[in-house]
Amino acid sequence: MWFQWGEQRDYIDTTWGCGYALASAFVLLNLLGQLTGCVLVLSRNFVQYACFGLFGIIALQTIAYSILWDLKFLMRNLALGGGLLLLLAESRSEGKSMFAGVPTMRESSPKQYMQLGGRVLLVLMFMTLLHFDTGFFSILQNIVGTALMILVAIGFKTKLAALTLVVWLFAINVYFNAFWTIPVYKPMHDFLKYDFFQTMSVIGGLLLVVALGPGGVSMDEKKKEW
């Protein structure tokens, strides 16, 4: 956004007719909001506030850039929100109960449901990668990808499924979004670059699932009770 300040400002001004000053203010807010939120998350300071701020930036971008009407980009933005939801859940401390080390159901359930929501939203990214053609590779990719998405969403063999999706998504991302092979002056360079880093953010969310597990609302957790 810093290196394409003029293009960003002109796009907002042209799309919304808000004028030079308001368009510039929007780009500045967008830039500072993302930088501040990311710095706070990486430094582990005020993580919950940073997550809420980044949620606001995602919502703002969804409206300002008309992503709301583009299903593919909307699902990818929702997947980003899923990653933030998992980060928010990770930052919440376990609720204390009258028994040491045993969180109460009422206190721990918000975190568990945030993890469930984060998992479900994350798999939306993979729905945009499905190809509806009759080629053998495409059919195989769709079957395997769908199976892994379902496993992550319902929380069964979650860590293994999420790790497999990380490897698969990273390989697809490097192959299809290789923006470094496109000259900078071509519009496709910016499109692929945006897609590449957005996908990397979703991979980060999946790595949170690998590290923290699916949470209490999952089949993996229910198996312990069986």
- Counting DSSP H helices and E strands in the chain, the numbers are 10, 0
Q: Which of 119-128, 136-145, 174-183 has the highest mean pLDDT?
A: 174-183
Q: State the pLDDT confidence band at 93, using cuts at 50, 70 and 90.
A: low
- Amino acid, res. 37: G
pTM of the model: 0.79
pLDDT of residue 53: 94
The overall average pLDDT reported for the chain is: 85
Average pLDDT over residues 114-120: 89
- 182 CB-side CA count, 13 A: 15
Distance CA 174, CA 122 (A): 19
Query: Could you give the 3-state DSSP secondary structure of residue 178?
Result: coil
Rounded alpha-carbon distances, angstroms, from residue 156 to 70, 84, 149, 164, 221: 31, 21, 10, 13, 9
User: Phi and psi dihedrals of 97, rounded to 5?
Assistant: -125, 175
Categorize the per-residue pLDDT at 31 as very low, low, confident or very high, splitting at 50, 70 and 90: very high
18 pLDDT more than 80: yes
Which pLDDT belongs to residue 182?
93
| H helix or E strand, kind and range, residue 52 | helix 47-64
